[in-house]
Copies of this chain bind each other. A is one copy, B any other.
């Protein structure tokens, strides 16, 4: 049994992590940590220092705030606790500095994206890109999403471009009819990206590769934060077998 604590335990993501750990047969949920925790139906502490002093756990999962996460990690690593971190706002430099203070055999795992399917989609796009002359990305989000294209779509286009060892052959925006500019999408590193914004979607991303007489499509749909949980569980189960700094769920997947 891997013993697990959860920092940010009463937040939206943290509380889902608590439920998920409690439901897993091979994990033991030890305690929650949150400055706002009150009357939780499980042991909880205001600070990670108190938790480390009072309880024994192998892994801490951190979904807190940019202002809190660095101190949490520092305290946990010093206590020999492996870290699984999903809180955003940490630079690679900060992560490296934090990991440099870790005792031997202790691991700091950080992932910008815990959705297993999205991580695989990007890895598959990287693997397919060299073999297909053409690639386009279409992403679908709810109409309330303010920016276009999405961050994941931009990253996917960048990954595709980097994996091709040639400049793009994407047919260009010069083919657009006057008054219909934008039909061919946004060219991100030579990859056309199209953004659909509509009620009825949550988050879908599709990569379409084209070659002679064939297409290969990789599509990922996710619709709520439970899509992060398989990745969080994978992190908890894998972090004990590594040490030092590991960035990205793909390190545990391929």
Contact = CB atoms under 8 A, between A and B. Distances in A.
A187 B176 CA distance: 12
A215 B117 contact: yes
B183 A212 contact: no
Contacts of A214: 115-118, 200, 220-223, 227, 230
B220 A148 contact: no
Contacts of A176: 147-149, 186, 195
Contacts of A123: 127
Contact of A196 (B180, B192, B198, B218): B192
A225 B213 contact: yes
Given A149-B183, A214-B220, A199 B124 contact: no
A157 to B, nearest CB: 9
Nearest to A203: B214
A202 B218 CA distance: 19
Complex copy number for this chain? 4
Interface string A213-253: 11111111111111111100010000000000000000001
A193 interface: yes
Interface stretch (A59-67, A71-79, A92-100, A130-138): A130-138
Given A147-B175, A214-B223, A217-B219, 9 more contacts: A115-B214, A117-B209, A120-B128, A124-B218, A138-B194, A148-B180, A170-B197, A173-B182, A198-B208
Interface of A: 115-118, 120-121, 123-124, 127-128, 131-136, 138, 140, 143, 145-149, 154, 170-171, 173, 175-177, 179-188, 192-202, 208-230, 234, 253-254
